[in-house]
Chains A and B, each alone.
Chain A
Amino acid sequence: MNAIRYTGKTLIMKKILIIVSFLLALPVLAQQAPAPQQNKAYTIINGTAHIGNGSVIENAIIVLEDGKITSISSGQATNTTTKGEVIDAAGQHVYPGLVAANTTLGLVEIDAVNASDDQNEIGLFNPHVRSIIAYNAESRVVETMRPNGVLVAQITPRGGRISGKSSVVQMDAWNWEDAAVRIDDGIHVNWPSSFSRSGSWPNYGPIEPSKNYEDQIEELQQFLDKARAYHQVKAPENIDLKLEALKEVLAGNANFYVHVSGEKAVIDVLAFAKANNLTNNLVLIGAEGTQNIAADIAAAGVPILVARVHSLPTREDEDYDMPYKLPKLLADAGVLVGIENSGSMERHQVRNVPFYAGTVAAHGLDMEAALSMVTLNTAKILGIDDQYGSLEEGKSATLFISEGNALDMRTNKLTRAFIDGRDISLDTRQKDLYDRYMEKYSRED
């Protein structure tokens, strides 16, 4: 309570201490280097393996070699069944690396600092814009994903009618080229709003069917038509980069992601995709308000990346738990469901993706099925399930070990994690700061 707390002498002492501790802390503060390539085998034993496809293997023996899972089985480990370093995961749980869809990780460092923001290019139709080249593999935000088990993420541009192309990356890399798992996995369309509010703040008028809605859809249609016509020409005289950029998606080789919400708009999207022969590569993102047409979406075979589970209901009269249970309602109807996290403060929240799945489980879904929504289902939707999303032989050794249920905040405590067999660090600058200050206080004690 004294105005001046330190005498001159103790102040100098403190200063010296600070300098010393700063020097000590320096090597700790250096950013964690990405792990080198796997150069030895690992065998994880005695853990409970959550495969990602809904099944569980108790007492699992998982062998990792050359970046792959070469074997996964159940049983008592012996010298013959293990290879290389043996990791005893007794009482612990092994999970495939979680896959976060529709994120802007590495595109923005600090929300309020405009200079750090690279997510939204100007222009309405930007299919040529590619997120991958702006992805900052060394983002301080990206490194905080790893200790929670989020090891793979889709990096998606924002804005416009067509935002651009997303890519899928893994979370431990020197640069974006190293990080890339699947480059240009699809283009992203922001579906026009079918209803809009007239007037402006503070005197909003009624909600009305958006006057421009049909025109905006027509505009998109014409853009696609133009691209198709252009693609018919074998060697065009003048190259149109925007139209070129639509080749893969129109040929069905890349995903057609449509960010949309509301029952009416989703029905329109389904019809639009059908008319454009894009149903097979259509993915809905967001899709709030679709609980009553889940069966139709399932019948069309269209998967959904459902909006952030930790959200408020969109209407006053809606069930308080609607955002919590929507993924289950859709899955029960047969829709292939993944979970996404776009919205306010979206980047740092990506590390909470496992807990979204946990919350869905709290509202009625089987815990393993909930896990699939952030692993195998999402991997399937993003087209990376040949390598990622589940603990299966032949797939990438991208997995982690947690002390407890990884979908629960209390027990999501990672002890080891691997990306493509690389034994990655779970340290972050945040952990360094924790250590630094715990060290400070331990000296005071």
Chain B
Amino acid sequence: MHMKKILFSLFAIAAITATAQEYFPNNDDISAVSNATRVIANATIVTSPGKQLENASIVIKDGKIVDIGKKVTIPSGALIEDASGAYIYPSFVEAYGDFSMKSPDRSSRGGQQYDEGREGYYWNDHIRPEQNAIDFYSYDSKAAEKMMEAGYGVVQTHLHDGIARGTGMLIALNNNGSDNTRILKDKSGHFYSFDRSRQTNQSYPTSLMGTLALLRQAHFDADWYAGGKAITRDRSLEALNANKNLVQIIEAGDKKNVLRADKLGDRIGKQFVIVGGKDAYEMMDDIVATNAQLILPVDFEDAYDVTNPYLEDFVNLGTMRDWKQGPANPMMLHKSGVKFAITTHGLKTAGDIHVKIEKAIEYGLTKEQALAALTTIPAAMLNASAMIGTLEKGKQANFIVTSGELFEKDTKIYENWVQGSKHVIKDRNVIDADGTYTAQLMGETYSITISGNSKSISVKQDSIKLGSKISRDGDWITITTSQKDATDDSFTRWMARLDADNSALTGKVYLPDGEQQAFTAVKSDAAADKEEEDENEDKDAVVDLGKMTYPNIAFGSESKPVEETVLYKNATVWTNEEQGIVENTDVLVKNGKIEKIGIGLRASGARVIDATGMHLTSGIIDEHSHIAIDQGVNEAGHNSTAEVTIEDVVDHEDINIYRDLAGGVTTSQLLHGSANPIGGRSAIIKLKWGYAPDEMIYDNSPKFIKFALGENVKQSRYQNGIRFPQTRMGVEQVFEDYFTRAQEYEKTRGTDNFRYDEEMEVISEILKGERYVSCHSYVQSEINMMMEVAERYGFVLNTFTHILEGYKLADKMKEHGAGGSTFSDWWAYKYEVNDAIPYNGAIMHSQGVVTAFNSDDAEMSRRLNQEAAKAVKYGGVSEEDAWKFVTLNPAKLLHIDDRTGSIKEGKDADLVLWNTNPLDVTAKAQITMIDGIVFFDIEKDKEMRIAVKNERQQLANEMIKAKNKGLKTQTPKQSTKTLYECNTLHW
């Protein structure tokens, strides 16, 4: 206790001395000279990744390296420490964290908030580029200590709050220094994320696509603002412009978000450094194509505790693979040429970084690359290579001294020197007593095992385990043991002083009867032998990563599916063309297109599928779907959100894509929800399971946007809505208002007053007839209104979707030129569907309206063939026409009928082979093909079911094995995705 106090006061003095600067007055004592040169000599020094010097020394003065190498010049009066046997590496650099940041105040405002809560800043409170880390900074020496123990010397920190977060600062972890020396850069980088600020309740954005749109618009506005046209001041836009030349860092998250962040950067002229991508290996080609540098988390999953099989059920195969394959991600990124820094972000404590990196190395990452990812790469990212990252003359004296080679299990960090200030983590001069010793005492053999830095002990007398305790004080070891005879309650005490050569314990034994005897316990090499064995074992073992598929979850393909030449023989073909339904017909598919339709076709090299007794149709097209969308189907923060687009958030790994394929669906329009009158833009995709989101989106896709009317947009289920509109009367005025503004916007184009506004651009496209509208609507009054508004503004409302009262004004729809995409038989779920009837489709169809049935529901979308059959029941539509409700008609509504929707030579080979008439309740898709590529095959599905079961079993076994080995496990989590419908506001 006494010693500790003295030590503490010594440190305190050192700290004060270090703080004092030459021009600061000093009233504590007489002036002390503290800028002595220090030398750490005779170590193995790794000056930078891949460069190692044996028997080298490092000379430091004033926090910097003045010399380094095998031969160094040592000035007289230098303090020299011998470090022979030790290794020296550059201290690590953490590029991403919130070290020493005060947490900002949470917004205390409750309820709905649509407007901004600040004045003088951007209109959106989540855009906070004017925040500077230095204003939220207060050096946290305890946190610094933790980082230093992990090997870090310098960290970049910033306030983790907001979508634009402002600047970060670069800090040296020098607990003996002061902010005068520690702060290397006040503004070292500029930060973004996809997470909302906690300092505000402002509603917008409520979705990821809204976040992306907001970031785009803020930058368009900043460019405009830089032109000096604004008549008011905006400190946020000023900050965006002022911080432009700093490194731009964005926290993205998973692989898909990394790609989204990069795409955003492309749009606003930035190359982001992207935080995230721990699953990047699953989309490696796309990640490589970004050319972005990553700040890579290594919080690999622990095994799931699946000892309870019922809990195992909650762990998806994809999640199991994350555990199995995740640690290989750094290796694979490196092999693919992606540059990345490694971050502690996401780890419970910084100290966990070593276990994680050792794991990554076990999976093939080289030690050299690991070191680079912790030193030179982050230093370069932060434009700080001149100061930190390597050990060179003139750079900061930031280095760690270790017991051996880094990233080995038993290597310990002795010291972490930051700015020339030594921080001892483990005294390298303290003798390591851990090991197994053997002593002979009065004819008996004692085996003594000391472990855990002399904190644990076990003692055996012959083979009998004795009760034992150990304590250590400096080089003195005291051991207390019980007796072999358990009924004897006396103790034996052992006192020994450690030998400097650490080969034996030598001292005295105090026996219970008061006798004293000398003893020598000799250290055995057993531990070392074992280690060697382990190492050999590791070297031989090649880490097996198991199966990887496209996408990398259950029912993915082992290779990316490819286009084939296929000849369907002898099918009943539903052409959807003039020839109608033709029997005993062959269809040849080549180069992704329908090459030929006929009888007795032959084709060399084609895979022939005998379709005798089966029916071949064009693929089902779902005009209204919300599957395969990430993080929000609605941007509900504004009553108009034309600036957002589902194309930004397509989720190619949604299992519902596969399920839809099994139901014969080949194309879906992924629509924005119905939270607001002017919603977001659509993504029209082909369900190419195993392909990336951008490969699923139609080439030259027709442009679509969602509108919505009625109960959802007027927030009729809210108690006290405050957002305009709250009535159908207001809904009309929203359109009037935005269309008027868009017209005025067009007038400013090309003038000095023009401010690029994505929302206005999109609405202008609608007015110009370049973008089609799919309008969520139910009752006739609002449908009438919408058509009249469209006519006033000179465009045709392309599609009314839902449109359950379409039957009441089918004639007007026909006259206007609108199509209807409706539910077959839904009703009674809310007041505005009280007059919904299942004959709606038949009536609209009878009046010449292009009529489709859609799903709006992941369950229904996979059996739209059954829904089409209901048009035969309700209203007597012919089978051929009913089938068009889910194929050709939605293709027409989506303006893709020149490419798909019927079986016609030259069209895309989007085909489904059914066991029987597709409208029959017993119909099952056998093969579903898109662009000539088979994405679902019922026979292959059978094989995959077995494969999924087997692989789950194997991975569960491996997880149990990991648990039994004593590795950490986690409780299973169910990773179910939110199933979106039109009015889903959460995600």
Contact = CB atoms under 8 A, between A and B. Distances in A.
A362 B314 contact: no
Contacts, number: 165
Interface in A287-323: 289, 310-313, 315-317, 319-321
A351 B873 CA distance: 13
B292 to A, nearest CB: 27
A263 B308 CA distance: 13
B677 interface: no
Given A361-B921, A438-B843, A207 B974 contact: yes
Contact of A410 (B837, B862, B879): B879
A109 interface: yes
A311 B862 CA distance: 10
A238 to B, nearest CB: 41
B859 A311 contact: yes
A348 B314 contact: no
Contacts of A362: 921-924
Interface in B943-987: 945, 948, 952, 970-976, 979, 986-987
A294 B879 CA distance: 39
B317 interface: yes
Contacts of B838: 430
Contact of B919 (A111, A361, A409): A409
A140 B847 CA distance: 27
A112 B718 CA distance: 12
B739 to A, nearest CB: 14
Interface in B653-712: 655-656, 658-659, 662, 711
Contacts of A413: 873
A345 interface: yes
Contacts of B554: 316-317
Given A206-B972, A316-B316, A316-B317, A347 B879 contact: no
A430 B839 CA distance: 8
A407 interface: yes
B945 A319 contact: yes
B859 A1 contact: no
Contacts of B846: 438, 441
A325 to B, nearest CB: 11
A235 B958 CA distance: 63
Contacts of B816: 1
B176 interface: no
A112 B921 contact: no
Given A408-B920, A413-B873, A430-B837, A3 B310 contact: no
A261 B655 CA distance: 22
A223 interface: no
Given A110-B830, A320-B659, A409 B921 contact: yes
Interface in A179-231: 194-195, 197, 201-202, 204-209
Contacts of A112: 711, 716-717, 829-831
B662 A321 contact: yes
Contacts of B975: 316
In this complex, which of A206, A410, A444 has the most chain B Cβ atoms within 10 angstroms of its Cβ?
Answer: A410
B875 interface: yes
A441 B810 contact: yes
Interface stretch (A63-71, A122-130, A334-342, A352-360): A352-360
A347 B122 CA distance: 48
B825 interface: yes
Nearest to A347: B828
A15 to B, nearest CB: 16
A232 interface: no
A409 B971 contact: no
A431 B314 CA distance: 46
Interface string B376-401: 00000000000000000000000000
Contact of A207 (B314, B553, B711, B875): B314
A2 interface: yes
A434 B830 contact: no
A409 B870 contact: yes
Interface string B854-876: 00001110110011011011010
B4 interface: no
A412 interface: yes
Interface in B215-258: none
B828 A111 contact: yes
B859 A410 contact: no
A206 B971 contact: yes
Contacts of B422: none
Nearest to B809: A437
In this complex, which of A2, A209, A434 has the most chain B Cβ atoms within 10 angstroms of its Cβ?
Answer: A434
B820 interface: no
In this complex, which of B658, B826, B827 has the most chain A Cβ atoms within 10 angstroms of its Cβ?
Answer: B827
B794 to A, nearest CB: 8
B973 A205 contact: yes
B313 interface: yes
A433 interface: yes
Given A112-B711, A438-B843, A351 B825 contact: yes
In this complex, which of A111, A313, A437, A444 has the most chain B Cβ atoms within 10 angstroms of its Cβ?
Answer: A437
A249 interface: no
B941 interface: yes
Going nearest first, the 4 A-B pairs with the smallest beta carbon separation are A358-B921, A112-B830, A409-B869, A206-B971
20 contacts: A109-B828, A110-B831, A111-B830, A112-B830, A194-B310, A206-B970, A263-B310, A312-B859, A317-B316, A317-B317, A319-B945, A320-B662, A321-B662, A348-B827, A351-B825, A358-B922, A410-B879, A410-B920, A434-B843, A441-B846
Interface of B: 308, 310-311, 313-314, 316-318, 553-554, 655-656, 658-659, 662, 711, 716-717, 788, 791-792, 807-808, 810-811, 816, 825-831, 834-835, 837-839, 843, 846-847, 858-860, 862-863, 866-867, 869-870, 872-873, 875, 879, 919-924, 941, 945, 948, 952, 970-976, 979, 986-987
Given A140-B828, A310-B863, A409-B867, 10 more contacts: A110-B830, A110-B834, A112-B711, A206-B972, A289-B313, A316-B554, A359-B863, A409-B873, A410-B872, A434-B843
